[in-house]
Amino acid sequence: MKTLRTLITTALVIALSGLGVSAASAAGSTAAHCDGATGPAAPAVRAAAAEPVTVWLAGDSTMARPSAACPVGWGSQFAALFTGDVTVRNQAVGGRSIQTWLYESNVSSTMGPDGECRLTSSTYSSRWQAMLDASTGMKAGDYLFIQFGINDSSSTCPRHVGPARYQQLMTMMARAALARGAYPVLLTPVAAITCSGSTATKNRGFVDETYAAGSATGAPVIDLQTLSVSLYNSLRFCPHDGDFGSGPVGAFFCNDRTHFETYGAQRVAGLVAGDVRRQNLRLAAYLT
């Protein structure tokens, strides 16, 4: 009898264990399809079933690939923060406003009566055309990170962009990504280093316009200006003696206090990745 009871008990344990594994598998499958899943296991479940994804970057020199030792755009350091399933296509270009990035030489040096730089043609730049290409450009599940607002504040054409036009163009780009099944992510412009006594301060515009474009399209906004200023304060960059070529500030910035050395670009890329994780975007499943 004792042997029989042992055999029966063993069989029941095995059966119940099998049921437990099935239930856990079902729960994991549900979490993998639920964008709102926020439990600690959710990102790991999604990562296990991750499909390759391309992250497209559109921006200016603070994001662009380096052409010299300095500046180094944070976008050039972004891929290192993800698994091998992510490909980063950095299409940021130095010196561009959102309008010159989109239309390049078709933006004239003449300002119209509306206060905006006149377009000589509505033909898009080759870089934007390539990103819109149905075969080789943005596809469903990809991401488009958009960060401008530094050169746009110029008072003269062709780089000048007014607030309403800026919002319009950012909204258009986000909607173009959505139309292709991609996910737009909008960023406020990263801050330069300016100090008020011992405190680093904000110095960029187009913040409200970025949030408005996000509201119009449902796109998440990463407030990189606020994040970067908070980082500068945590690193105690202020006050300083105005020498931007040495010390902690010199290790972070080029000597123009706006663009980044490699270390600074890495730290700013980390800020962006950290907010991707904080906002629990789908892309967070690919972060290492």
Q: Please tell me the total number of residues recorded for the chain in this structure.
A: 288
First-to-last alpha carbon distance for the chain, in angstroms, is 55
How many CB atoms sit inside 10 A of residue 198's CB?
Answer: 11
pLDDT string in tens for the chain (288-residue length): 434 444 444 444 334 333 333 333 333 333 333 333 333 333 443 444 468 999 999 999 999 999 888 999 999 999 999 999 999 999 999 999 999 999 999 999 999 999 999 999 999 999 999 999 999 999 999 999 999 999 999 999 999 999 999 999 999 999 999 999 999 999 999 999 999 999 999 999 999 999 999 999 999 999 999 999 999 999 999 987 777 777 889 999 998 889 999 999 999 999 999 999 999 999 999 999
Task: Tell me how far apart the alpha carbons of residues 169 and 99 are, in angstroms, rounded to a whole number.
Answer: 7
- Distant-in-sequence, close-in-space partners of 117: CB < 8 Å, separation ≥ 6: 99, 107, 108, 109, 110, 111, 157, 158, 159, 160, 161
Contacts (Cβ under 8 Å, ≥6 apart) of 95: 60, 61, 151, 159
22 backbone dihedrals φ, ψ, rounded to 5°: -65, -40
